[in-house]
Structure 1
Amino acid sequence: MRARRSRLAALVAAVLLIPLALSPAPASADTSDVTVTYVETGNWGTGYGGQLTVGNAGTSALTDWTIEFDLPSGTAITSLWNATLTRSGNSYTLTPPSWGAAVPAGGTYGIGFNGTTGAGSDTTPVNCLINGSPCSGEPGEPDTEPPSTPGGLTVTGTTATTVALSWNAATDNVAVAGYEVLSGGEVVRAVSGTTATVSGLTPETTYGFTVRAYDTSNNRGGESASVSATTDEQVIGPPTEGRRVAYFTQWGIYDRGYLVKNLETSDTAEKLTHINYSFGNVNAGGQCFMANQLGQGDAWADYGRSFTAAQSVDGVGDVWSQDLRGNFNQLRKLKETHPDLKVNISLGGWTWSRYFSDAALTPESRERMVSSCIDLYLRGNLPLFDGAGGAGAAYGVFDGIDLDWEWPASEGHEHNVVRPEDRENFTALVQEFRDQLDALEAETDREFELTAFLPADPDKIDLGFEMDELMTDFDFITVQGYDYHGAWESTTNHQSNLLVTPGDPGPRIFAAEVSIDRYLELGVDPADMVLGVPFYSRGWTGVPAGPSGDGLFQTSTGPAPGSYEQGIEDWKVIKNLNGYTLHRDDASGTAWLYNGSTFWTYDDEISIAQKTQWAVDRGLGGVMIWSIDGDDANGTLMEAIDSTLG
């Protein structure tokens, strides 16, 4: 049994802590009882991250609140979580999110956001009011008492570039708003909890750290006793930092004609560490099941179809007497050729997450779902279909479970059930999977992985996922790095940009840096995150050239025609289009094609390599592909990933 560690991480960041006030007087705990404190959590020149902490020193919960403030010219909030935002010019108003967010008596509530700004610009909100009163808490006697000094600062883990720390909570006469981690006298991390990981460090180097608390009136307590830690030796190679995860779609064997054999003939299989087979379905009873109809499941594609010798991984055709045929048998053959390759079953997806909320609702329903999925896929007990299946027929094909619930407590497909308690229930469901997988490991003397596909949207992250609890049970997570924009919007845009792009009209501002930074803020180790990249394009038609002549950020008349769906096309098709001009933004890792009317947000081998290098530079655990059947017969995009990871 492998030991699992608690996973925490964050970027080294210069942190600015400011009490929001109309005058320099400190906050009051006497008359107002409510204060708002601002922290700049990171700044990357053209953008920044910030957090507002609402402190409530009163004796009853603050159930309704309105925060109003202005931002300096040239600075704007582009995405926000844990509140609802309205904007008029440079003036912003924040109110509770749709699910409500009471600030508990004697407690705090955090609102996070990302924004754009000019290099060196001040991002501090001004003219701040909460419920019509100054955010500083005036008038009244000032709160000048600092928090106590945190104790028990401990190094809990190191890697070549990170040091994880934990400490005991401080106390305050009003409320502790958060903690600052210092190294060499400089603040390198600000967090709201009692753990943090400082990243971006140099291998085999000794660092000293202290921690101090700050309260809602901007009083800082004393620094703790110092601890030192030496980062590990840099290990070159792909053990965890170079995961290469590809989604293989059940339906890709039809119109696309992409078979498991194509993974072998394109030399893709030898470059992969993981295949996620998509998807497994959960029925209205909350159990994993097989059905022989497209839209509900496809047992024929999974294990009923006979592949000829020419279609088979090993050149041996299937016969009807086999208890396992179809994709499952081909994956088994592929693993025999590549014994280190892991194959996990991915459960859910956009259309098959419909009953996840029901399945996760109670301890009994969670146990029923997990045991059914393990029995079907990991024990391989397939229902009989067309002469195939039976007890243990698919045993050994799958090495773990990949959870793709889109999305707990957030909108997904229109038919999905969504409940406010999905967040806690997802954590409990993951724990149930991990417990049953541990039991199966002890029984079979095999190791089984547990992974998950998680969203890019910070709102969905915060609504649906308790990251600090989840990461102790996951081997790693894959993070959505695409579908930021598409033809469901009328304006052309990038679907997979790394950085916030100047001039992005929204309606929501997305970028890989926004998503990854939010997970880092929640304590996820960068090595446990795998960045998703698209092997497909999204397109619009009826697009004017615009001021730059390239069609970017222009209003369209609708989605571009696609082979299988309007507004979407595989890269292997897109790369052969004629009459288009290729445009690039190398800093953002984006490219697009435009012919004067039709616009495709586009990824080729150059931009895919840029995205992969960005993941390496950020210390992420590798790259994930949706989906591998978008690549060409030579595996060109996969080669770009492999060459970059080394």
Structure 2
Amino acid sequence: MSPRRSTARPRAVPAAHRRILAVLAVLALALTGLTSLAAPAIAAAKLTATFSSEGSGTSWTGKFVVKNSGDTAVDTWSLEFDLPEGVTISDHTHGTAEVKGRHVVVTPAYYNARVPAGRDTEPYSYTFRGSGQLKPPTGCLINGDKCDGTAAVPPKAPTGLSVADATARTVSLKWTAAAQGDFPVASYEVLRGTTVVAASASTQATVRDLQPATAYQFSVRAKDTRGNTGEAGAPVTATTVDPATDTVPPTAPRNLRSTEVTSSTVKLAWDAATDNQRVAAYDVYRGTTLVESLPADTLTSTVTGLSPATEYSFTVKARDAADNASPASNALSLTTKDPVGQDGYAKVGYFVQWGIYGRQYFVRDLETSGAAAKLDVINYAFANIDPKNLTCLNGVTKGTTQNPQDPNQGDGAGDAEADYGRAFPAGQSVDGVADDGWGKLRGNFNQLKKLKAKHPNLKVVVSLGGWTYSKYFSDVAKTDESRKKFVKSCIDMYIKGNLPAYNGAGGDGVAAGIFDGFDLDWEWPGSPDGHPGNHWSTDDKANNTALIAEFRKQLDALGGSHRLLTAFTPADAKKINDGWDLKEVFKHLDFGNVQGYDFHGAGSDNSWEPNRTGHQANLYKDAQSPYPTDFSIDDAVKVYTDQGIKPRKLTIGFPFYGRGWQQVADGGAHGEWQSANGAAPGQFQEEAGTRGYDNLVAAFPNLTVYHDEQSISTYGYTGANGQWWSFDDAWSIEKKTQYIKSKGLLGGMIWEMSGDTSNNVLFNALDRGLR
């Protein structure tokens, strides 16, 4: 029997919550004036927004009425405008506003977000109190279009286009900035005929891959922030250099060096090369791959998109105008830094979405216990996969079924109420301020946002899948198209923060900045040993690699700060072989959280190992184990390092819960490896055989605890024919942290934070051990 993931999972949504949601849905329908018979959509919607005011002087009321003059209902809208100099606004009604300087972005209330065809938002139009001399706002946009409904005026044509430089295969152009139309100019496109051959955010660009000694004609046009494209300006003709005019290459650049190394970037600098005529460019190589070409006056480069804790070699070559390449500079070998836990060890902790119910464990508890200040990464568990659309799923509140053997147990399940719908009172809020019940962002997500504000170095990632939600991973990973679609949907939802509407919450961008990446919890690719009903295929191994690569590609394409990409990876060598091409996968992962628990257990439905006890999180193998196949943390780590995975790309898992059996014989070994009669009663009725550590020690204050020095395991026994529990305590955690240090591993991962005591007995032991 292979090790399994903890079967703790989201619980069904309480009936009271469902009733509240139904009442709110009816109220929303009534307020928007919907009728039961809607006309068929025959044309696109068209929104306008009209401003009016009441009052005068320096105290007045402003209002925007949003109207839909099209034939299709609009489900939501976003209004933005600029305030006149000296004007401030407050007392917003029928909408919420984010004010940055003079720019205002308004999102509707849940009851006036939908505008039916031919209707407007009256009598629930967005209203505010204005202070300062009354003047109408400017730059008004509704869903990104002009509020008066007129077409946007594009930018003017750029002028002054000229040739700044030419080599055998490139032409560099420069021009005078274009005058804007209705919106600011964002970028420029260089055209050869009607084909776009280069793009730039500045007033210069280089066209590459041209033929030597050839004349070309180019023109330039501007694009604004809304994507409107202006007319091209007057063209210019340029001729590339004839290589026959110069056959002498430049000298090699000298003194290639690094000025900064991070987990994903390297800054390089070098001394200039020389040439008999002139140096035209520098080419930066990572190994044999060209990563960047730079103009001759640039002697620095920042290489991005690198993997953490990975060694790279860099060189630089110079090129002259005739495209002669110099010899390579000195080779510079560098190792990128760890993604988290710099100059120390990483602490990664899972926070479970459903912990706010029976466990009564809130994001606030991470703060008040002091854990948040010591954690490096929080894994928010779990996000599901839409079984029909094969995209990231949110916006639903549907519990899982109670039968753990139900092959459809997690289909369509999710808890938007916990994620961003619930309004937490002050006593359950990170900063002691209650959620606004009508805000667009509430629930755990808003609390995580507050937690990150208090701890700027803390990273939060969303974990996709888990034991119950891994059913459709094989489907989303199957083709290039399905991978791109799935990854894009996850980035849109969790990185860009575009949450589906739910009970007045959600909307575009409302969750932006909360999540710093993804943790992939596919259990298990290429294996039939996952949850009953999981889809799997022998192609999963290759598709898993391709899916992880697609996540890395799309995350890096966002630009800005590096986003984390991690995975929960198996301890079972067979599962690794069946589903994980380790050398390829770890090119894209920041690190892997190696399963360090669930090596033995009865299972909540006695479907696993109900008839014999066993250690669930042993560091080393136990020679006394009667199981034909046994597992250990040390054996698991060796599988990874033997395949060349650097230790600093690995954490090991720590269980903050115990697994237990009942009616266990003593056997002269205090129940260790002895016969049993199924799972012991659990912390929750539906989770037999499992108790959080805090619940375990509270339920059995007289539990006799034993420490197995051979396997580094902790277990407790209640007596003859009693209960036997396998768990981690401060002793075993101390031993395992010594192992982490001795092996040079990145750190430890915790499943999951709510299992600890109120004074963090387990987490503090981990923190002490990893200092």
TM range, normalised to the smaller chain?
Answer: 0.5 to 0.7
Q: How does the TM-score come out when normalised to structure 2?
A: 0.53
What is the distance in 1 between the residues matched to 2:497 and 2:334?
Answer: 43
Correspondence for 1:362 among 479, 483, 487: 479
Correspondence for 2:583 among 461, 468, 481: 468
Contact 1:526 1:620 in 2 (8 A): yes
Correspondence for 1:380 among 491, 497, 507: 497
Partner residue, 1:287: 391
Partner residue, 1:263: 366
Correspondence for 1:346 among 456, 463, 466: 463
Partner residue, 2:733: 608
Partner residue, 1:211: none
Partner residue, 1:419: 537
What is the distance in 1 between the residues matched to 2:692 and 2:767?
Answer: 20
Tell me, what secondary structure is at the counterpart of 1:642? helix
Tell me, what secondary structure is at the counterpart of 1:330? helix
Partner residue, 1:551: 671
What is the distance in 1 between the residues matched to 2:695 and 2:386?
Answer: 35
Aligned CA RMSD, in angstroms, stands at: 2.4
Task: Give the AA of the match of 1:581.
Answer: T
Task: Give the AA of the match of 1:477.
Answer: G
Contact 1:240 1:527 in 2 (8 A): no
Partner residue, 2:709: 586
Contact 2:350 2:380 in 1 (8 A): yes
Q: Which runs of 5+ in 1 are unaligned?
A: 1-158, 160-166, 168-196, 198-228
List aligned pairs for 1:115-134, cutoff 5 A: none
Contact 2:341 2:347 in 1 (8 A): no
Correspondence for 2:601 among 463, 486, 492: 486
Task: Give the AA of the match of 1:455.
Answer: P
What is the distance in 2 between the residues matched to 1:551 and 1:329?
Answer: 46
Q: Deviations over 1:550-607 (max 9, x none)?
A: 1101010111111221111000011221332111113422111101221001211121
Partner residue, 2:350: 247
Q: Does 1:391 align with 2:508?
A: yes
What is the distance in 1 between the residues matched to 2:663 and 2:761?
Answer: 31
Task: Give the AA of the match of 2:475.
Answer: D
How big is the shift at 1:399? 0.2
How big is the shift at 1:241? 4.5
What is the distance in 2 between the residues matched to 1:507 and 1:629?
Answer: 34
Partner residue, 2:98: none
List aligned pairs for 1:214-229, cutoff 5 A: none
4+ residue runs over 2 A deviation: 229-232, 586-589
Tell me, what secondary structure is at the counterpart of 1:269? coil
Q: Does 1:622 align with 2:747?
A: yes
List aligned pairs for 1:298-317, cutoff 5 A: 298-317=415-434
Correspondence for 1:402 among 515, 519, 530: 519
Q: Deviations over 1:86-117 (max 9, x none)?
A: xxxxxxxxxxxxxxxxxxxxxxxxxxxxxxxx
How big is the shift at 1:547? 2.7
What is the distance in 1 between the residues matched to 2:634 and 2:350?
Answer: 23
Partner residue, 2:242: none
Contact 1:540 1:556 in 2 (8 A): yes
Q: How does the TM-score come out when normalised to structure 1?
A: 0.63
Contact 1:288 1:372 in 2 (8 A): yes
Contact 1:271 1:638 in 2 (8 A): no
Contact 1:586 1:607 in 2 (8 A): no
Q: Deviations over 1:588-635 (max 9, x none)?
A: 221111012210012111212221221121111000000011011111
Task: Give the AA of the match of 2:622.
Answer: T
Number of aligned residue pairs? 418
Q: Does 1:566 align with 2:688?
A: yes
Tell me, what secondary structure is at the counterpart of 2:664? coil
What is the distance in 2 between the residues matched to 1:491 and 1:606?
Answer: 24
Contact 2:697 2:703 in 1 (8 A): no
Correspondence for 1:477 among 592, 600, 617: 592
Q: Deviations over 1:398-433 (max 9, x none)?
A: 000110000100120111001000000001101111
Tell me, what secondary structure is at the counterpart of 1:347? strand
Task: Give the AA of the match of 1:588.
Answer: S
Contact 2:622 2:710 in 1 (8 A): no
The higher radius of gyration belongs to 2
Identity of aligned residues (%): 47
Task: Give the AA of the match of 1:626.
Answer: W
Contact 1:484 1:496 in 2 (8 A): yes
Partner residue, 2:562: 447
List aligned pairs for 1:23-38, cutoff 5 A: none
What is the distance in 1 between the residues matched to 2:508 and 2:456?
Answer: 24
Correspondence for 1:274 among 373, 377, 380: 377
Tell me, what secondary structure is at the counterpart of 1:463? helix
What is the distance in 2 between the residues matched to 1:613 and 1:430?
Answer: 31
Contact 1:250 1:278 in 2 (8 A): yes
What is the distance in 2 between the residues matched to 1:369 and 1:468?
Answer: 24
Contact 2:729 2:762 in 1 (8 A): yes
Correspondence for 2:655 among 534, 556, 559: 534
Q: Which runs of 5+ in 2 are unaligned?
A: 1-260, 262-286, 288-308, 310-331, 401-412, 603-607
Partner residue, 1:3: none
What is the distance in 1 between the residues matched to 2:561 and 2:423?
Answer: 29
Tell me, what secondary structure is at the counterpart of 1:575? helix
Contact 1:240 1:621 in 2 (8 A): no
Task: Give the AA of the match of 1:435.
Answer: K
Partner residue, 1:327: 444
Contact 1:532 1:624 in 2 (8 A): yes
Q: Deviations over 1:275-308 (max 9, x none)?
A: 0000011112210011111220000000000000
What is the distance in 1 between the residues matched to 2:552 and 2:341?
Answer: 25
Tell me, what secondary structure is at the counterpart of 2:741? helix
